[in-house]
Structure 1
Amino acid sequence: MPETDEDMEACISQCLGCYRNCLQTASQHCLEAGGKHIEPEHFRLMMACAEICRTTAHTMLIGVAIHGRVCAACADMCRACAESCTGLHGMAECEEACRRCAQACEKMA
């Protein structure tokens, strides 16, 4: 099914929301919580997820024709980040933001 302007706007919104959520959660919750929240693999994944979400929104906003490839990578990263957040205290909102973003990006991929 071809993408629509509504799909793109929804994806941009989800990407920016996920960017914000991952960045804020990592810097304001994970660093304070310590333990598994700041294990290198988890923390790096959150930082990478935030950045690819920002970049993905950017490619759509400026009209890059091959944004679908970036969206596909973003969906993969968001799914991985959501899995990493699963089961960690206080991470449900971040996990859900990642899952919503992955679904929106899959539509655009």
Structure 2
Amino acid sequence: MHHVDPKMQECIENCLACYRACLSTAMSHCLEAGGKHTEPDHFRLMMACAEICRTSAHFMLIGTPHHRHVCGECAEICSECAADCERIGGMAECVDACQRCAESCRQMAA
């Protein structure tokens, strides 16, 4: 296996944690809460965020230089998702995971 630099390893972990947080929050908390939590734009954003996080982790794990582009997009989507989850409220775990992921993906994209 190729050597993964510690910053990249941290980013992979943050991406996977955000993937889990967005997916589980959407599928349990949001679906059960309904209302604003299941507005199509919000729900799609959470699904997009989960998927781009999974994809970013995948690109870093396979060692392709294309991870920079994907991580740049991931940082944008995570920031948007964090803001939207904060706006709706009651999703602190998701907000935190998105913010951590956005920050480490910004570093990977640089």
Task: State the TM-score bracket (shorter-chain normalisation).
Answer: over 0.9
Q: Deviations over 1:62-109 (max 9, x none)?
A: 011121110000000000000110132321110110000000000100
How does the TM-score come out when normalised to structure 1? 0.94
Q: Structure 1 segments of 4 or more deviating over 3 A?
A: none
> Aligned pair count?
106
How does the TM-score come out when normalised to structure 2? 0.93
Whole-angstrom distance in 2 between the partners of 1:85 and 1:16: 18
Matched residue, 1:96: 96
In structure 2, stretches of 5+ residues that fail to align are none
Which residues in structure 2 correspond to 1:1-109 (within 5 Å)?
Answer: 5-109=5-109
Whole-angstrom distance in 2 between the partners of 1:88 and 1:71: 25
Q: Secondary structure at the match of 1:65?
A: coil
In structure 1, stretches of 5+ residues that fail to align are none
Whole-angstrom distance in 2 between the partners of 1:105 and 1:13: 11
Whole-angstrom distance in 2 between the partners of 1:26 and 1:63: 30
- RMSD of aligned Cα (Å): 1.0
Give the AA of the match of 1:21.
A
